[in-house]
Structure 1
């Protein structure tokens, strides 16, 4: 993460990357979506229970 932060700081504009604050916010939101998808895989189709 430190290397990525440094990359964004020095080369972010070249690649159209927003600030680290925006990137962290998106990563935080995305990680929740990924976790929710994983939970959905563990649902008993007959009872609806989360395993």
Structure 2
């Protein structure tokens, strides 16, 4: 029974870590998407000036 409790605790810790990594990656994707959109708009503005 003790082994089961230890395994459950380990799995819960791994789950929390996985969620933290997922949130970090999602935030990173959002930042990259905003940067890409900004670059696209900036490029379109330069093209229009030409």
TM-score by length of 1: 0.49
TM-score by length of 2: 0.50
Instruction: Name the one with the larger helix percent.
Output: 2
Please identify the structure whose Cα radius of gyration is greater: 2
